[in-house]
């Protein structure tokens, strides 16, 4: 139950004046659904404006506030032509207020002739004349204008303006209550941080590093504390010790010997499974490092011990791929493996549910469908979660509640995560690393090719297909957009289909599941030679005969994502190639990123370089906007403040009594504020 003090912050955005159906979509795109979301929607930067008595006091390019009187309208007959409001300052200097598009009517209404208005905007020069293009504020009141001397600039979405969003944020800030302090007092004093409420207000008013650090620290502390609560709860839980006798694992006929890293990870997992405390372990493995075999060995230990195992995948494509791989590898063992997704209906679904309930199904692979209420297990003792970063802790906890005792949990990620951020994402877990590639895996020949040579690439595809091999072509968008020049998968598919006909299939996230499956099936069976796709194929696609990867506008992707996509080839015995098509406008960061892709296939090194180059934008292989896994804390703040937050959380748990006492109650508020309340729920009586 959320503490009452926080209720004003969790009121829906519709409670703000001016928010209706028209604003719902742009606000939702920004994640602004409740008052709290506006409070933590911090400015990217601030604009500082100078108040002028006369235009001649300013320099061209300066942000200004000045009183101007409209004296004439020019243009407006053609909607494509600019509409100009000619205006004079008190000294008679003339400035044009310029509007583009269909804004003439609005400008006439806001700027009636011969009536003074306070104008805020950037003063520019066009020819010999001064102008302000699309003034940012127009008002009659000088007092309101003076309040624009320092203005926050917020991240926007299409359909939202700075003025409107800024006004909504100001409304939301009026609901910010005073809250008790959850930061350790001596640390807060040493850092010179303000209390929470003043910090929130200061962060929206101007550049205030202390306020921003304090708010970032709060988020990192909430995360660290919640993960520690998960770990503590896990240690208190009673699990089911699993000791296999090796009878099933000995029947596996693996095509190659296990690497040292695989053997080490399996031994660590086997040791964890033998304990009464449930395992909570993360298996980090680079592309092609052999995580699936480690997962299968772990699941067979559970089956040898008379229990069941489940593997949870984030997408249906990945679930089906895992199911086919595990079924093929485990065939000599005779274990019964089932696939369960949201698409399974009727008798087929009923049969799987019955098999899980009576224990005749030893292993199940599926999407989130495997932890729904209707799914019951006879004795689920091990949950394997692939691509862990795509699931919240709460979802993982739902799956681990399906056993008689708390099931062991093995989380896996194919995206190498920098060591500096492992603590932030997986602080509650023990970590195993697969940092060796299986023998026989060849290096992938990676080349950078200019976009204008696309004709040569298409010709190379023809020669590639003549050898009987297949290829991928990845684009950064599904459809073309008027506002973006990124290559579109649908348009590229049409172009390539004109060359290669029915040998080309298309896969992207907006296709119906059955259409996506049909295309993937044709490609997997070798009936289609070329798969055109978006990043939906980033993980889970394993076609050894596909030995060429083309990534269009590769500079638009982060290093980790490029590395994941490249990992779709090089999975068989034939030599593989990855072509990175680059656009003309290549930044220094983009140039360095592509050079690194040519230089190394070490995913862990690329993850560290990605951290340095992008500021965390592609840390988990799923984002490109510069985001970190946190909303308030920047990458720089994570690196600087996270160790401090981790120590503070541990101090609270070990010395200060956890979530009891004065500071503990405040920390409980913090967990709810940052929606880490699943940590609270794990406490007995929490």
What pLDDT shows up at residue 103? 74
Q: Which of 633, 664, 663, 648 is nearest to 214 (CA)?
A: 633
Q: What are phi and psi of 97, to 5 degrees?
A: -95, 110
C-alpha span between 389 and 398 (Å, rounded): 16
C-alpha closest to that of 9 among 200, 199, 165, 175: 175
Q: Is residue 618 within 8 Å of 610, Cβ to Cβ? A: yes
pLDDT at 685 over 50: no
Question: pLDDT tens-digit profile of 25-40?
Answer: 899 889 999 999 999 9
| Cα torsion angle, 658, 663, 664, 670, sign | negative
Angle at 397 between CA 246 and CA 426, to 5 degrees: 80
For 513-562, the pLDDT digits (tens) are 788 888 888 998 899 999 999 877 755 577 889 999 999 999 888 887 88
By C-alpha distance, which of 486, 445, 411, 380 is closest to 578? Answer: 445
Q: Note the pLDDT tens digit of each residue in 464-515.
A: 999 999 999 999 876 666 555 566 888 899 999 999 999 999 988 788 878 8
Nearest to 96 by CA among 115, 76, 123: 123
Tokens of residue 182, six digits: 């959850």
Alpha helices in 360-401 (DSSP H): 393-400
> pLDDT for 250-274, tens place per residue?
999 787 789 999 999 999 999 999 9
CB-based contacts of 537: which residues, under 8 Å, 6+ apart?
317, 472, 474, 507, 531, 565, 568
User: How confident is the prediction for the chain on average, in pLDDT?
Assistant: 86
Alpha carbons 141 and 612: distance in angstroms, whole number? 47
Where does the pLDDT of residue 236 fall: very low under 50, low under 70, confident under 90, or very high at 90 and above?
A: confident
Tell me the pTM. 0.67
Q: How far apart are CA 142 and CA 133, in angstroms?
A: 21
Widest Cα–Cα separation across the chain: 95
Spatial distance between the Cα atoms of 3 and 665, rounded to a whole number of angstroms: 10
Q: Are 182 and 234 in contact (CB under 8 A)?
A: no
Q: Is the pLDDT of residue 617 over 50?
A: no
Whether residue 667 contacts residue 659, with contact meaning beta carbons closer than 8 Å, is answered with: yes
| Res 626: pLDDT | 33
What domains can you pick out in the chain, each with its CATH number?
45-153 (2.40.50.140), 249-434 (3.40.50.300), 445-600 (3.40.50.300)
pLDDT band at 190, cuts 50/70/90?
very high
List pLDDT tens digits, range 118-176: 999 999 999 889 999 999 889 888 877 777 788 898 998 887 888 889 999 999 999 99
Give the tokens for residue 300.
């067979």
Mean pLDDT of the 270-292 span: 88
């Amino acid at each position: 139950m959320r503490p009452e003090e926080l209720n004003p912050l969790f009121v829906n955005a519709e409670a703000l004046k001016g928010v209706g159906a028209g604003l719902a979509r742009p606000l939702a795109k920004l994640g602004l659904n409740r008052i709290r979301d506006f409070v933590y929607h911090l400015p990217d930067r601030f604009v500082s404006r100078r108040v002028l008595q006369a235009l001649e006091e300013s320099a061209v390019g300066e942000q200004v506030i000045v009183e101007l009187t409209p004296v004439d309208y020019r243009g407006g007959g053609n909607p494509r032509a600019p509409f100009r409001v000619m205006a004079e300052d008190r000294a008679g200097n003339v400035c044009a207020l310029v509007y583009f598009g269909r804004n003439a009517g609005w400008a006439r209404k806001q700027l009636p002739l011969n009536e003074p208005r306070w104008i805020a905007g950037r003063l520019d020069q066009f020819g010999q004349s001064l102008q302000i293009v699309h003034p940012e504020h127009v008002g009659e009141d000088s007092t309101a204008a003076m309040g624009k001397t320092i203005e926050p600039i917020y991240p926007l979405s299409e359909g939202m303006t700075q003025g409107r969003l800024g006004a909504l944020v100001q409304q939301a800030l009026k609901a910010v209550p005073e809250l008790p302090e959850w930061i350790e007092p001596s640390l807060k004093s040493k850092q010179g941080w303000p209390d929470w409420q003043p910090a929130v207000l200061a962060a929206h008013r101007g550049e205030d590093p202390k306020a921003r650090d304090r708010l970032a620290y709060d988020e990192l502390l909430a995360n660290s504390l919640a993960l520690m609560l998960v770990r503590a709860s896990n240690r208190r839980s009673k699990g089911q010790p699993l000791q296999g006798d090796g009878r099933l694992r000995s029947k596996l006929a693996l095509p190659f010997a296990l690497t040292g890293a695989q053997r080490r990870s399996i031994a660590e997992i086997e040791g964890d499974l033998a304990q009464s405390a449930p395992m909570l372990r993360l298996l980090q493995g680079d592309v092609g490092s052999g995580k699936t075999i480690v997962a299968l060995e772990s699941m067979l230990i559970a089956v040898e011990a008379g229990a069941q195992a489940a593997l949870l995948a984030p997408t249906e494509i990945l679930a089906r791929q895992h199911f086919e791989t595990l079924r093929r590898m485990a065939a000599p063992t005779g274990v019964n493996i089932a696939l369960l997704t949201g698409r399974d209906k009727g008798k087929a679904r009923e049969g799987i549910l019955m098999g899980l309930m009576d224990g005749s199904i030893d292993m199940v692979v599926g999407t989130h469908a495997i932890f729904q209420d209707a799914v019951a297990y006879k004795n689920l003792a091990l949950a394997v979660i692939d691509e862990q970063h795509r699931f919240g802790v709460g979802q993982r906890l739902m799956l681990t509640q399906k056993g008689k005792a708390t099931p062991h949990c093995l989380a896996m990620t194919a995206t190498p995560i920098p060591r500096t951020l492992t603590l932030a994402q997986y602080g509650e877990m023990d970590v195993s690393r697969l940092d060796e590639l299986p023998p026989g895996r060849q290096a992938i020949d990676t080349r950078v090719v200019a976009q204008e040579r696309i004709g040569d690439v298409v010709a190379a595809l023809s020669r590639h297909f003549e050898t009987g091999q297949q290829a991928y072509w990845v684009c950064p968008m599904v459809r073309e957009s008027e506002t973006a020049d990124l290559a579109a998968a649908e348009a590229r598919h049409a172009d390539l289909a004109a060359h290669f006909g029915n040998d080309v299939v298309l896969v992207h996230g907006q296709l119906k599941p059955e259409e996506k499956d049909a295309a993937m099936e044709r490609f997997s069976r070798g009936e289609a030679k070329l798969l055109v796709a978006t990043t939906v194929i980033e993980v889970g696609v394993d076609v050894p005969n596909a030995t060429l990867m083309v990534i269009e506008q590769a500079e638009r992707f982060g290093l980790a994502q490029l590395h994941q996509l490249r990992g779709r080839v090089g999975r068989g015995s034939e030599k593989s190639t990855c072509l990175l098509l680059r656009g003309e406008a290549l930044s220094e960061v983009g140039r360095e990123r592509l050079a690194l892709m040519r230089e190394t296939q070490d995913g862990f090194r690329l993850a560290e370089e990605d951290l340095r180059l992008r500021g965390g934008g592609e840390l988990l292989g799923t984002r490109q906007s510069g985001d970190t896994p946190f909303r308030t804390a920047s990458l720089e703040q994570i690196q600087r403040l996270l160790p401090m937050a981790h120590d503070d959380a541990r101090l609270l748990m070990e010395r200060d009594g956890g979530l009891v006492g004065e500071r503990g109650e405040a920390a409980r508020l913090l967990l709810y504020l940052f929606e880490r309340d699943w940590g609270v729920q794990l406490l007995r009586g929490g």
